Each structure stands twice: as C-alpha cells, then as structure tokens.
Amino acid sequence: MSFLNSVGELVGSVVAVALLLVLAVISFFVTIFIVDAGASLAGLNPGDDFVTLAAAVLTAGAIVGGASPLTAIAGTESA
C-alpha cells in the first residue's frame, strides 16, 4: 500500500502545480487589465512593454506574498 500512497501523493502534487500555474496565468492577465485601466484613468499612455512589466512585478509579488507562511507575519513559529 505504500507504493499506491506515494503514487497518489505524486498525482495530487502534479494536479496542484498545474492548477497553480493556471491560476497564476489568469492572475497575470487580470493584473494587465487593471494596470492598463489604472493608467488610462490617470491620463497616462504607457507602452505595452511597461504595462506587461508592471503586471509581471505585481503578480510575482502577490504569488510570493501568498506563498509565505502567515505564521512568519504573526511572529509565531509552527512546530
């Protein structure tokens, strides 16, 4: 049964990674729309490369911030 448990955990990990990648791509596209709309509201007309760079930095920051454990923010350590 140990082999079947290992295979099940591997399949679960692969599904989780695939889902996180899909959600990251969707988040990136939504962030591009938000950055572009915000620049338009501010009266700016940035190039596509700057909008993409800003969206990439914001998305990466959100992913890294979401991946960090909340116990580090609270100042407590998990056992």
pLDDT in tens, 6-56: 888 889 889 988 998 999 999 999 999 999 999 999 999 999 999 999 999
Q: How far apart are CA 51 and CA 33, in angstroms?
A: 9
**What's the confidence (pLDDT) of residue 39?**
95
The pLDDT value given to residue 64: 84
pLDDT for the residue 74: 60
Tokens of 43: 């009266």
Q: Fill in the amino acid letter for 15.
A: V
With cut-offs at 50, 70 and 90, classify the pLDDT of residue 77: low
